Amino acid sequence: MYSITLCVSKLRAYLPGAYEIALFIIVVALVWMWGLRPEDMVLAFIGYTIVVLGLNDTFFSRGIRKALHDIRQNVLKLVLVGIICTLLLIWGASSESTIFLGTFFAFLLYEWDSRVLAGAALVSLGGCIAFLLFNYEADAEQMAIYAYYFLVMTVVLQIIEYKRHPDRFAEEEARKEADRSPLDLRSHAGLR
């Protein structure tokens, strides 16, 4: 196992992107050999994308490492999220609602980047399109609902971040204002 990992890491070091291309060729060959239906091809492509992104150290590793570090640093927040999820289940909330609310409270308490949830919304919308292409209307509706939930969580977290750290947004607005040059209507210089 170690030698395979070493070979893969050397291959990725010398030929960036070659590993991903080889994996894509293998997936395409398997799909072609097995004569899969279009739905299975979409699932194979989604699986390929997840594997490639999972192998890409800069995509998942950094975020997961940061999340695990945050959890280790403050376990009480994790306990609070667990208590909230347990109470929701006791009160009869569905497991879906519990997962979404638990995710929201985890992102809220640990102050993780809400763009991750926006990315999940985009992935859900992409899944919605794929399901509509293959006439799975019920699944497409469910994916659209998930996309809506993720978008709502993203917007609420952005509003909370704006209220928590107004100085970050004030600095950004001041920088944008300073970059704008005034329009000089007398010399037509500002119109170019």
b vs e for 19-45, b when ≥16 Cβ sit within 10 Å of the residue's Cβ?
A: bbeeeeeebeeebeeeeeeeeeebebe
Q: Which residue has the higher pLDDT, 192 or 127?
A: 127
The pLDDT tens digits for 1-15 are: 455 555 555 545 544
What are phi and psi for residue 186, nearest 5 degrees?
-80, -35
The pLDDT tens digits for 58-111 are: 556 677 778 778 888 888 988 899 999 899 989 998 888 899 999 999 999 988
Angle at 171 between CA 169 and CA 177, to 5 degrees: 105
Query: What's the rounded Cα separation, in Å, for the pair 11 and 17?
Result: 9
Query: What's the rounded Cα separation, in Å, for the pair 127 and 117?
Result: 15
Q: Which residues contact 147 (CB under 8 A, 6 or more apart)?
A: 121, 122, 124, 125, 128
Query: What's the rounded Cα separation, in Å, for the pair 4 and 26?
Result: 17
Cα first-last separation, the chain: 62
By the 8 A CB rule, do 169 and 162 touch?
A: yes
Residue 57: pLDDT band (50, 70, 90) is low
Average pLDDT, the chain: 76
